[in-house]
Amino acid sequence: MTHHIKWIALAAVLSCAGAAHAQSAGSWAARVGATQIDPQVDSGDLSAPSLSGTKADVKSATQLSGGVTYMVTDHVAIDVPLALPFKHDLEGAGAIAGVGKIGEVKALPITVMAQYRFLDPAAALRPYLAAGPTYAKFFKARSTATLSGITGGTPANPTTLTVDSKLAATFGAGASYRLNPHCFVDASVSKTFLKTRTTLSTGQTLDIKLDPIAISLAVGYRF
């Protein structure tokens, strides 16, 4: 994946040429790069019947990403981040810390951000603040034999799990730097205030605060 990202980024940089394009009202920009999502996990306890203090941890994931930005005015933009689904490993924590992987789930954050860009539209560097809604879609959740063993499942009837998709608020900051008239690099960090619930086929539930931090780096082309 890293190899592919490098080649895509290089192709985007080499394609940049032509007349000057400022970040002014009516302009469009597209970018491609990579995003790492790092959940800041605060896990509740798995509901009874379970060992007291049975919790879960959610590991970070990195994926090919990008986005499209439209400048509504010289300072206000609408941005739609895009990415392939992120696959997060679920591991035991609390009373079951050390058991290793208990499952995995794919996540697709669907986000629309309003940005406020500082400085003049023709400035090379334009910092920005952003905010907007995120719909965190969780799918293809899979359990492991370890989870089945902890919760009383068997090879013939393994414990399965589902993770609730949720709507949450996202806030972020970043900066765009013009490399030449068309080409730019963009770096951003954002945090989504997200809580969700995992439900096992045993009927047990686990509420968890994820509050993921996303760090993105991309190269782009301004039209």
- CA distance linking residue 222 with residue 29, whole number of Å: 4
Q: What is the pLDDT of residues 202-223, one digit of tens each?
A: 999 999 999 999 999 999 999 8
pTM of the model: 0.89
- CA distance linking residue 101 with residue 18, whole number of Å: 51
Q: What is the pLDDT of residues 110-144, one digit of tens each?
A: 999 999 999 999 999 999 999 999 999 999 999 99
Handedness of CA 61, 64, 68, 69 (dihedral sign): positive
Per domain, the residue ranges of the chain are: 2-222
In the CATH hierarchy, which top-level class contains the domain 2-222?
mainly beta
212 Cβ neighbours under 8 A, 6+ residues apart = 37, 38, 39, 40, 191, 192, 194
- pLDDT band (50, 70, 90) for residue 1: low
